[in-house]
Structure 1
C-alpha cells in the first residue's frame, strides 16, 4: 500500500500518488465534523417530559422527518425567499412535529419549540466525529486556509464556537448567509470569491455525494467524500477510491499547501 493512502484507498492514476496542492479547504459541518449526540426524537421527548407531557421518542422521530421534509420542500433554505427567518422556520417545524405526534396544547407548543431551538446550540446536543479536531489542526498546521460551507442557519457560528472549532476557520458561510443552499453552485462560488482562490486550488470535504462531493466538483474544485456508513452506498461506483475518506484522519496525508 502506498504510504500516503489510508486503508481502503488506492492510488489514482491521474495523481500518481502525489499530494494535492491546495490554498483553500472548505468543510461541511453536520455529519462531517459534528454530529448529534442522540436522535432528534429522544431530545424532543425529553423536552416534552419537562413540560409534563409523555410523547414516545420513536413517534417524534417519525413526525420530525415528515415535518422537516414537508417544510423543506415548501420553504427551501429556511424560506428566505418567502420572507421567513430561519428561527421561524424551525419553530414551525418543531411545533408541527409535536402536532403530528398528538400534542395539541397550544400553551406548550411554542415554549417547547423555543427551548429546543436554543438547546441545539449547546454542546450537550453535539459531539465531534472521531479525528475531527486533530485533522483540522493538522490541516491548519500545513498552512492551508480553511472555511465552512454548510447548509445550516446562522446558529452555526455559535455551535462552532461552543465546540471549540471556530478558530480553525477563516470564515463560515451558511446557506442562510449565502441565500442559497448546496448543491447550488453559487454557495461554492461565493466561498471562492470571499477567499480569492481559484477553484482548482481549493477542495471541499463533506459526507453527502450530491451536496458536497458532486456540487464542489461541478464548479471546478477538488473534493473528498467522508464515508460514514459501513454498507456500500449508491454513489460508490461514481467516486474514485482516492476521493473517499474512510476517516477524517486520512485527509492530512493527501494534501499540502499550494
Structure 2
C-alpha cells in the first residue's frame, strides 16, 4: 500500500490555473540569462560575434568578439593604415567561413551553392592595394570598392550595404549622431560585421554605436587600443596588441620585432682649440687672389 502511494503520479495542472512558481522560475531564468546585463559586468548577449583574432581584445569585448548585429566605431588619428591591421584577422575569418564546400560536378550542385557575401569598402581614404590586401588574407573576389564623394552618398551606400547583410568597412568622417543612429537601427537586422572609421576627435561626440574604440600606433608593430564605449564597465588604460602584417612577419628578425630604444642625446662637439699666435706678419698665411 505504501509503495503504491509513493509511486503515484504527481497531480496534473488544472486547466485555467497558473502553473506552480517553481516550474516558472527555471525556464524564465534560462531565457533571460543571455539577455540580462548588469552595468558592472560585460554584456553577454545572445547575438553572434566574430572573434577579433587578438585574445587580449576578445577578453574585453562583450560577447568575446566583434558584434555582428551592431555598428562598431574605430577612431584613429590617421585613417587608412591602423584599421586594416586591427581588422584583418577578423575579416579573413569572415571570408574563410564562407568558403564554398567541394561539390560534385553538375548543374544542380552549382545552383545549390550559397552566394558569398562580399566586403564593401565605402569611401576609403586611399586606393585599395590589392596585393597588400591579398597578403592579409582577403582575396580580390571578396572586395567591392564603392566611391562616394558627397557625405549623403556615403551614408546611403553604407545603409544599403548594411541592409543587404554584407560586411561593411566605411570611412565616414562627417557622419552626424542621428545618421549613425540610423545605421545602428539597420544593423540590428543584419548578421554581418559593420565598421565605421572616423577621426579621433569624433570621440567627443555622442554616438548610438554600442562599441567604440580608439586605435593609435604603438611601439614597434604594436597597436594601442582603448575601449571608449562598450556594454559593461568603463575600460581603463590601453591594450597593446601585436599587429605585424602577415607578409612582413617572415622578413622581421627578432631584433626588429621589438621596439627600438629611443636615441640618446647627441654628443656635444669637442671645443675647438684656440688658434696659435704668430710672432710676426711673415708667419701668417698668404691669401692668393
TM score, norm. by length of structure 1: 0.30
Larger Rg: 2
- Taking structure 2 as the reference length, the TM-score comes to 0.28
